[in-house]
Structure formats: C-alpha cells, structure tokens
Amino acid sequence: MRIFTLISLMLICHFNSQSQGCVAIRSGGMACMAHGNEGKSNKSWTLTSSSRYFHSFRHFVGTEEQKQRVDQGTQVINHVYSMDLTLSKQLNSTWSVAVNLPIISNTRSSLYEHDKKKRYDTHSFGIGDIRFAAYAWLKNPDHYSKGNVQVGLGIKLPTGDYKYQDYFHINDTTKILGPVDQSIQLGDGGTGFTTEINGYYNFSKKLSAYGNFYYLISPREQNGVSTSRGGATAASTIANGSDVMSVPDQFMIRAGVNYMVKKFSFALGLRDECLPVHDLVGGSNGFRRPGYIISVEPSVSYKLKNVTAFINIPFAVKRNRTQSVPDKIRTKLTGVYTQGDAAFADYTFNAGFAIKF
C-alpha cells in the first residue's frame, strides 16, 4: 500500500537533524524502511537527500523567554544548514540497513563571545557524525498490512570535527583562535549507540497513524574541548565542570496522522526533541545546554514513480532550557540558584527527495 511509503518519508525527513538552537540535538533517527506494494522480498536501494535550515535567536531560561535580549540586540543568532545523504538497502521483507552522512554549514553571530561591543561571526563547515543502522520489522510486512512495528539499532561514529576552530575578536585589531561554540560544532566527539522504534497503523487506505522513538546513548562523558574560546579558563568554570564540552545523550519522540490524496500525502503530528540533563550510561558533567522543544509538525510529500519529494516544517510551541549539571554544582557552591539560557528558533524548514532504485 502506498501509505507505507508515506510513513517512511515522514521519518526520512529527520535523519541526523539538529534541533532549533543551542540545545544541539544532532540526530533524529533514520527511515522507517516501510514497504511499498512492489512485491514480496523486494531488495531495493533508496537514496535520500534531506536539507534542513533554521536560525535561532530567541533566548529561554527554563520556559521563560528573555525578550530583552532581542530588544537590546545582545541575542546570539545561529544560522544552521545541513544536508543529509542517506543510502538504505532493503535486504528482504523484514531486514534493512542504512548509512547516513551529514554535511553541515553553520554561522554563529554574537557579542559576548568577542569584545562585547561589536557583533562578529564564527563559522564551521564539513561532514558530521556518520551513522550506520540496521532495522527489522516485528511482523513480516508481506503478511501484515494493517499495522506493524519496526526496531532499529545503530552506531554513530565521531567523524565530525568536534574541536572546530575559528577566530574570536578581542578588539578591533586582535583576534584569537579557539574552538567554536558547542552548538555549531560538527560532531560531539563520542561513539554513540542508537535505538529506534518506528510504527504505523492503517485506519483505511487513506488515513493512518505513525510514531517514531529515537534515543542516542553516549557513554563518553566529555570530549576534552575547552569552552574558553581560546582564552584563559576561569576558576569558577573549572569548579563547576563547565570548562570542557560534554558528550550528551539525546532523544526524539514523534507521533501523528497521515492522509493520502492521490499522489500527495499530508501529515500532522507532534514532535518532542530533548537533550537530557543526565545520560543513561556514563557521567553527565561538562558543558551542555540541556532542554527540550515540543513542535507541531505539518508535512507534505509527492510521489512520482520511484521519486518522492517532501517538505516538513516543525513549529515550536514550547521551549525549555533545563538546569544542567554544572548549573546545579554552581548553585550548591555559591548558594545562589543558577540556570543557563539557550537560543531557540521559531521553526525549522526541511525539504528533500528520495529515489528508489
């Protein structure tokens, strides 16, 4: 049934995505690898190109927006563009494998990272963290078309440059070379393990529901990259453990409904991206901006023979920058409650195509 293809594309839109801002969720799962109606045991290849763009500028502490940052012109502005190339192989009716290569281009504009008087940019460009994954349906799709659940396991390799450097302006004539902010680094420096659950249920030939759960386990606690941007590290930063970058876990949950109209597929759902305060495995100290984003997620795709094009635009409805481990340590050391901020976008724009051959 063509509804299977739709469910796949709703998930394809989000391999290796970054969330909307400084809460850097760098991956969102791969495709559901659902079957079409081309026949049993179809051993096909699929090449997907998915581009994503957003610019973050709204600062939040917890769920409270720091509107004065925009009014004062002191906000951090991130422009993030990524293109994910994913090649998947259907091995048989049940099993499939995939590899994902992200290409990333980031620009970060701020005052506080430089001389605090003029706004300057830092940049990063290159490949991100490559990921390999294998998937299996719990029921044979050739015999179960009403609904099914797929599980996936994968490994994320630290191929992206996690200590990318650019120049920071001390004054009009002096610059210093140092690692760029964590939010625009190309990778996190850790080998991670991914778990996924993808599912669907068909109410009719036109209407269905879908769900996707993705979790990245990052055993490494810190990657050793300094957060001082090439300058001296403050003693207070060392004391609370935020002097080096953390390698955090991340997860995403998506659910919604699809509706088919001829060659068009329309979907509407909710999306929750989260960078947790504490990791499942290993320590959780080091600099990170934990938090979550809940978005309303409309999508549309169009299928023509073996090519499908898609557009997806999640709109943020709730943004929360939670208290990190270094925030908690600093609160305990000083007796003053501390909670850092993060910059978020209002929406992200995703578009791309998938070719089956």
The H or E element containing residue 322 is none
pLDDT of residue 34: 38
Predicted local confidence at residue 1, as pLDDT? 45
Q: Could you tell me the pTM of the whole model?
A: 0.90
Beta-carbon count within 10 A of 183 CB: 21
pLDDT at 25: 58
Contacts of 166 (CB under 8 A, 6+ apart): 122, 123, 124, 177, 178, 180
Looking at residue 133, its pLDDT comes to: 97
Q: Which residues of the chain have pLDDT under 50?
A: 1-17, 29-41
pLDDT at position 21 is 58
Q: What is the pLDDT of residues 152-184, one digit of tens each?
A: 999 999 999 999 999 999 998 999 999 999 999
Give the strands of the sheet with 342-344, arranged side by side: 64-65, 58-61, 342-344
Which pair of structure tokens corresponds to residue 246?
A: 């953390």
CB 31 within 8 Å of CB 352: no
Report the domain count for the chain: 1
d(CA 38, CA 20): 37
- What is the model's pLDDT at position 142? 85
pLDDT in the model for residue 41: 47
C-alpha distances in Å from residue 219, one per residue of 8, 23, 30, 71, 216: 29, 19, 21, 40, 10
How much is the pLDDT for 4?
Answer: 47
Cα 90 to Cα 98: distance, rounded to the nearest angstrom? 9
pLDDT of residue 19: 54
Q: Which residues, 6+ apart, have CB-to-CB distance to 120 below 8 Å?
A: 109, 110, 113, 114, 168, 169
Query: 286's torsion region: left (phi>0), alpha (psi -120 to 50) or beta?
Result: left
Beta-ladder partners of 269: 256, 297
Say which CATH number the domain at 301 has: 2.40.128.130
Q: Are strands 64-65 and 58-61 parallel, antiparallel or unpaired?
A: antiparallel
Average pLDDT, the chain: 90
Which residues form the domain of 295? Answer: 2-356
